[in-house]
Structure 1
Amino acid sequence: MMPGSTAVIAHRGSSAAEPENTMRAFRAADAAGADLIELDVRVSRDGVPVVVHDAGLGSGAGRASVSELSCEEISARRPEPRIPELEEVLCWARSRIETYLELKATGVASSVVRLVSELEMQDQVLIGSFHPSEVARVRELDSGLPTSVLSAHTDPGQVLRLGERLGANYVHLCWERAHPEPHRLLGQGLVEAARRSGMGVILWQEDRRRVLERLLEYEPDGICTNVPERLVAVREEYRKTRKATRSGGVAPVA
């Protein structure tokens, strides 16, 4: 992510328009102008990182955990929309768009870091997790990889202390379920405190235009959204308005 600019992070790809965590969603996000694609990573029984959100596949008695299935079995259980391997996504994204990898379970970090290293894409990925142990493991395996810690806690002090303890590069505030208007919980002081501690701030998945406009005023490092083209447009309007205001001119009419 570029310092001084709020990145458009396509949450599970362009997931409002295409099936989430699929190549179709990632291609659509790239076409929409997103800066990063965010995706969920789990590891199959045979050690292959795959891109899928839920821990289980199937339903009823036939439901099975991703970690209990081989990569081949995963493909057979859900042929459409196809679950891609992480390697496929990274090879496609190389030199095209940055990727934000959320590790959905413990024990995933080693396989992911190894793959990123093999592909020599350390400067094109951000790795995050709700599991502090996974963030710590990434740091242990490769301290040069940028990391984020995801947290639903709305106590700013608790979130910042967690990020500092782990040595994370970013704190990712996941407050979309904490309040119907989660932006009301956010204050400029939190963003400034994080930066004083050497960390950036990423904000939750948000699609509402009026809220996106408000969030941009805090100048976070990134905002997640299911509709990247909307945030791209809102960010451009915000930049024009801010530029006009700073130059003493009149802000253009959107």
Structure 2
Amino acid sequence: MTSGRWSDRRLPPLGPTAVRGADEVLQIAHRGGNGGADDYRPEHLARIAAWGCHLVEVDVRVGAEGALVVHHDPQPPPAAPPAALVIRAARHAGLGVYLDIKDLTPATADDLAALLAAEDMSTRAILASADPTLLRLCATSAPRVPRSVLFRSVSQDPVALAREADAAFVHPCWEDQPRPDKLIDDPWLAAVRTHSLGVITWHEERPQVLAHLLRLRVDGICTDDPALLARLARTP
């Protein structure tokens, strides 16, 4: 494949960045960003890219036949879409991918690295997981692709977890907290950035919380409402 078949839309930096403009905070469409329902249709991906979305979050796991498929839950159905098709659709829409890896083997980690390279997505991807072991597999197979470690506990030491996972980003999953944005304000955010780590946040749809996260200049924000996030990012 040649790059002429793909959108050449430029993305903000996909590595941890100490100083981002509001328009450089990565806008990540959680599971396609259609209100919580998986939506990776090409026309939908083109729509969210036009709004200003940068990445689409995709749940990836190993299917029954050993191939990589897109599905959130542990038992993917036979009709689960191949990861290759969704990644290719994202590339054609001018998006990057934030891959939430649910399970992986050494062989399928190599397959994933090869897939990203074949689709010209190695520089337009972040590999994420709640399992540090899976991220270390990714570090071996795709060492130049940034990695992000997910966690739920508000008492978790993010720096220690990032070191364990060999991750460049920490991703607190605090969407159930009443004001999770206040939990990551200083000193938490300052401590993380002192160790040159980036921050990508839970999926968030509350305007007040989104606005504060944009002011904090976290590296990325996941959301089920990419239109709202894009609108707030354009607000002075």
TM class by shorter chain equals: 0.7 to 0.9
Distance 2:56 2:72 in 1: 14
Deviating above 6 A after TM superposition, structure 1's stretches of 4 or more consecutive aligned residues are none
Q: Matched residue of 1:207: which SS?
A: coil
Identical positions, percent: 30
What residue in structure 1 maps to residue 5 of structure 2? none
Name the Cα RMSD after superposition: 2.0
Q: Which has the higher helix share?
A: 1
Distance 2:121 2:51 in 1: 23
What residue in structure 2 maps to residue 119 of structure 1? 119
What residue in structure 1 maps to residue 7 of structure 2? none
Q: How many residues align?
A: 213
Distance 2:89 2:166 in 1: 30
> What letter matches 2:185 in structure 1?
G
Deviation (angstroms), 1:174: 0.7
Which stretch shows the higher mean deviation, 200-209 or 109-118? 109-118
2:179 paired with 1:166: no
- Can you give the 5+ residue segments of structure 2 that lack an aligned partner in the other structure? 1-11
**55, 60, 63: which is aligned to 1:36?**
55
Q: Matched residue of 1:210: which SS?
A: helix
Q: Which has the higher contact order (CA 8 A, sep 6+)?
A: 2
Q: Matched residue of 1:123: which SS?
A: coil
> What letter matches 1:112 in structure 2?
L
TM-score between both structures, scaled by the size of structure 2: 0.82
Taking structure 1 as reference, are residues 129 and 197 closer, same or farther at Cα in structure 2, changes over 3 Å only?
same
Which stretch shows the higher mean deviation, 205-214 or 117-126? 117-126
Distance 2:71 2:44 in 1: 13
Taking structure 1 as reference, are residues 54 and 146 closer, same or farther at Cα in structure 2, changes over 3 Å only?
same
Contact 1:14 1:228 in 2 (8 A): yes
Contact 1:172 1:201 in 2 (8 A): yes
What residue in structure 1 maps to residue 40 of structure 2? 22
Contact 1:126 1:146 in 2 (8 A): yes
TM-score between both structures, scaled by the size of structure 1: 0.76
Contact 2:29 2:225 in 1 (8 A): yes
Contact 1:41 1:50 in 2 (8 A): yes
Contact 1:40 1:52 in 2 (8 A): yes
Distance 1:228 1:160 in 2: 29
2:32 paired with 1:13: yes
Q: Matched residue of 2:187: which SS?
A: helix
